Amino acid sequence: MTLPSRIFNKYLTQFNEIIDEGNELFNKIKDIKEPSRIAVNTSIILTEEEKNLLYDQITQWEIHYFSLIDIILPLKSTHRSFIDKKDSEKLSGQKTRLRTHLARLKGIKEVYIKGMFSDLSLEIEAEIAADYMGQAEQLLTEGQKGAYDHVPAAVLAGAVLEKGLRALCLKQEPPLSVVNANNNKPLMMNGLIDVLKSAGAFNELKAKQLRAWADIRNDAAHGNFDKFQKDDVETMIKAINHFLADYLP
């Protein structure tokens, strides 16, 4: 899925700020005169206190660097594996380490811009789902009183579940198709449940529960209001919340 523009721009801004700060630090450290080398005209000599301050700034920068990496890179991605492996190798000197971190960060930024990371999208998906489920709960408790005041909550909760099932399909390795191979149309909720069960994402008992919630959503959407009660919707909302918490980030 594509990240909402607000979220995308938030992290892109962080990339740019950390890269700019890193470049500034690198320009400072590369001109420091090293005792073992012949000084050139552009070299500068810092006091021990000034050096310590600069190295402290680099350490703080590295914390920002690793924090952003942890947010952006999926744990199972080849990018994360590569960086974790390389970071376990010893890099001699602050200058070399800083230059290496900057090169990696610039590369990761380019991949981020192209939308090639999935776990962050799933995290956003989970947050959006939680927000909509909160609205479903509110509809259930604060809606207009009447025989069918629970129907809108059932429709909304079912829609969140279907969207969550699609996200779960894309989370599998390899990702599962969410399109019907026969007619090239998007799979509906029961189709998504079947695909996920066949792939081993959950067992038949869980699939049976999911189908029951799908039935309530379908009945609510098609006007079959006598086939379920308010208590059924309350149970459905609680169960879907647990399902999303267990299966989405």
In our burial notation (b when 16+ CB lie closer than 10 A, e otherwise), range 108-138 reads: bbeebeeeebbbbbbbbbbebbeeebeebbe
Phi/psi for 50 (5° steps) reads -65, -40
Residue 240 shares a structural domain with residue 198 = yes
Q: Per-residue pLDDT averaged across 165-194, rounded?
A: 87
Q: Which residues contact 97 (CB under 8 A, 6 or more apart)?
A: 62, 91
Range of the domain at 154: 119-247
% of the chain with per-residue pLDDT over 70: 74
pLDDT tens-digit readout, 226-249 = 899 889 999 998 999 889 888 876
Q: Which residue has the tokens 């390899």?
A: 174
Residues 199 and 159 in one domain: yes
- The model's pTM is 0.50
Hey, what are 82's tokens? 């590569």
Mean pLDDT, residues 205-219 taken together: 94
User: Taking Cα atoms as reference points, which of 41, 23, 43, 47 lies closest to residue 32?
Assistant: 43
The token pair that represents 198 in the structure block = 């066949």
CA-CA distance, 149 to 130, in Å (whole number)? 21
Q: How many domains does the chain have?
A: 2
Asked whether residue 73 falls in the same domain as residue 173, the answer is no
CA–CA dist 52, 31 (Å, integer): 15
Indicate if 103 and 157 belong to the same structural domain: no
Q: What is the mean pLDDT of residues 174-194?
A: 88
DSSP character string of 85-113: HHHTS---SHHHHHHHHHHHHHHHHHHHH
What is the gyration radius of the CA atoms in the chain, in angstroms?
Answer: 26
With a cut of 70, say whether residue 143 has pLDDT above it: no
Q: Which of 90, 113, 136 is the last residue of a domain?
A: 113
Q: What is the CATH number of the domain that holds 165?
A: 1.20.120
Q: Give the other-Cβ count within 10 Å of 45's Cβ.
A: 11
**192, 213 Cβ separation under 8 angstroms:** no
126 and 94 in a common domain: no
CB distance 58 to 28 below 8 Å: no
What pLDDT score does 32 carry?
A: 66
* Whether 99 and 150 share a structural domain: no
Amino acid at 139: L
User: What value does the mean pLDDT take over residues 157-172?
Assistant: 86
Give yes or no: residues 108 and 20 share one domain.
yes
Domain identity same for 75 and 193: no
Domain boundary (61, 80, 113) is at 113
Whether residues 30 and 78 fall in one domain: yes
Query: Higher-confidence residue: 183 or 22?
Result: 22
Q: Round the average pLDDT of the chain to a whole number and report it.
A: 80
Residue 221 is inside which H or E element, if any?
helix 204-221
